[in-house]
Amino acid sequence: MKNMLCKGIAAAGFLALASTIGLHAQEFRVFSRTVQVHGFGTQGFVHTGENNWLTMNTTNVGSGEFTDFGANATVPLFDKVRVGAQIYEHNVGQLGKWHPQLDWASADYKFKTWLSFRGGKVKTAMGLYNDTQDMDSLHVFALLPQSVYPIDMRDATLAHLGGDLYGTIKPEKKLGSFGYTLYGGDRRDSIYGGYPYLLQIHGISMQQYGGPVMGGDLRWNTPVKGFTAGTSYVYEIITGTGQLNPSIALGGPNIVVPYKEWSNNDFMNQYYGTWSSRSGKLRLDSEYRRYWRDQDIFSGQFWVTTDVRSWYVAGSYGINKWLEVGSYYSYFTNNWNCDVPGQIPAPSASSPDRHVYDKAVTARINLKNYWYAKVEGHFMDGYAGFMYPDGFYPQVNPQGLKPNTNGVVVRTGMYF
């Protein structure tokens, strides 16, 4: 109780601070350079009628363990060079656990319109919203479609340590323009994310997880007003190390031994499109993602393949400057296989332990130009099992999972 009270005080304190700061970014001068500071904070409440969701105890009275806040600063060092960084802290049920992290920290050199470079801990360009998923104020939804932007995998996808080449190419006006990003580096996941938490049911305590990553994003700003289409690709070589108690998953002795897993083939394809009306009031989005992973687990004793197919369609409409409404249908299936004794996948994706189909409706109210609130309903079919993070975890559902989950998410946030 005392721990939860401290968390609530921290969240309330940040929101109160943001409300007193005002409506604009804070600026100050350092050696004739202007440093610009932004911050944000959100507090949410989640209630579900059936299964506990997103590692929170959301049934019965619901859970308010849904908080995040951060601050970033940017400064132009030279005419074409800008540096910046963001500190972030969050707690979502059993995830994050109030461990502060460096979300991103990079230097950006704009050489030409068609060729620029950024390096450091860089946000990963992937799909429509991967590099803006930390900016809740930009989105109408309290939760982005979880099939493609799962909140329990945010730490794994948001950024990478490395460098990007990017730019915009404009061949002819009638063809529109093409934006590209090519990147390479290293992915380092937080041990307080969804995947390490999921592995605990197998007696695995992950201490380090990540590895080399490379990929790219190509988006076409078409001649059709308001319409953009694109594709992303990511290839990874991921290794995880930690400790294993074999008595929990394999029925072995109750001891602790070193643990290791590694990917043999790990990639992601994504395709996306978005259209907005000339007035900007109506917006339509759709994305498709396939994630494939072939890995050795339990220090090479077994293998598992994971083939996740996910997509969504979403729409939003701004009724006036105070109110915006939206809805999406989110589709997630996990086609997995492995040679671990006793682990047999359901034969059909129609089984609730192979999929999550989520219908969501939302309303966003802009209380001030720096303060908003969102109310969102979710109607979910399936829970997709326990081979990959999907929002449902056995640790917080010890009595087992029911095939359907209805819930409401209320979220408020401030930013400057």
Other CB atoms within a 10 A radius of the CB of residue 175 amount to 13
Has residue 5 got a pLDDT over 80?
A: no
Give percent of the chain with pLDDT exceeding 70: 94
- Euclidean distance between the first and the last CA atom of the chain, given in angstroms as a whole number: 31
Which three-class secondary structure state does DSSP give residue 59?
coil
Rounded-to-integer distance, Cα 76 and Cα 224, Å:
34
User: What number is the average pLDDT over the span 177-181?
Assistant: 98
pLDDT for position 265: 95
User: What number is the average pLDDT over the span 395-415?
Assistant: 97
Q: Contact 152/55 with Cβ under 8 angstroms?
A: yes
How would residue 372 be classed by pLDDT, with cut points 50, 70 and 90?
Answer: very high
Other CB atoms within a 10 A radius of the CB of residue 381 amount to 14
- Find the Cα–Cα–Cα–Cα dihedral 350, 401, 98, 364, rounded to 10°: 60
pLDDT for position 9: 47
Give percent of the chain with pLDDT exceeding 90: 85
Rounded-to-integer distance, Cα 128 and Cα 164, Å:
17
Token pair in block for residue 32:
């004739």
Residue whose C-alpha is closest to residue 358's, from 53, 43, 42, 44:
53
Q: Which residue, chain included where needed, has tokens 């959301």?
A: 58
Strands (E), 189-281: 204-221, 227-236, 239-244, 257-276
Query: Poorest-confidence range of 51-55, 126-130, 248-252, 399-403?
Result: 248-252
Residue whose C-alpha is closest to residue 86's, from 42, 154, 40:
40
Identity of the residue numbered 6: C
DSSP symbols for 302-355: EEEEEEEEEEEEEEEEE-SSSEEEEEEEEEEEEEEEE-STT----SSTTSTTTE
Token pair in block for residue 111:
């050489």
pLDDT for position 177: 97
CA-derived radius of gyration, the chain: 22
pLDDT for position 8: 47
Which three-class secondary structure state does DSSP give residue 254?
coil
Reported as type and span, the H/E element at residue 106 is strand 101-112
Has residue 2 got a pLDDT over 60?
A: no
Residue whose C-alpha is closest to residue 217's, from 120, 103, 124:
124
How would residue 254 be classed by pLDDT, with cut points 50, 70 and 90?
Answer: very high
pLDDT for position 15: 52
Token pair in block for residue 192:
């307080």
Q: Contact 167/114 with Cβ under 8 angstroms?
A: yes
Identity of the residue numbered 347: P
Query: Poorest-confidence range of 21-25, 89-93, 337-341?
Result: 21-25
Domain at 119-415: CATH architecture? Beta Barrel (2.40)
Rounded-to-integer distance, Cα 245 and Cα 413, Å:
41
Rounded-to-integer distance, Cα 283 and Cα 20, Å:
32
Query: Poorest-confidence range of 31-40, 206-215, 365-374?
Result: 31-40
Structural domain spans, the chain: 119-415
Please return the burial class of 414, using the count of CB atoms within 10 Å of its CB with bins 0-12, 13-18 and 19+: buried
User: What number is the average pLDDT over the span 296-324?
Assistant: 96
Residue 124 CB partners (closer than 8 Å, separation 6+): 130, 131, 157, 158, 159, 160, 183, 213, 215, 234
Q: Which residues pair with 271 in a beta bridge?
A: 231, 288
Rounded-to-integer distance, Cα 291 and Cα 313, Å:
18
How would residue 401 be classed by pLDDT, with cut points 50, 70 and 90?
Answer: very high
Query: Poorest-confidence range of 34-38, 284-288, 311-315?
Result: 34-38
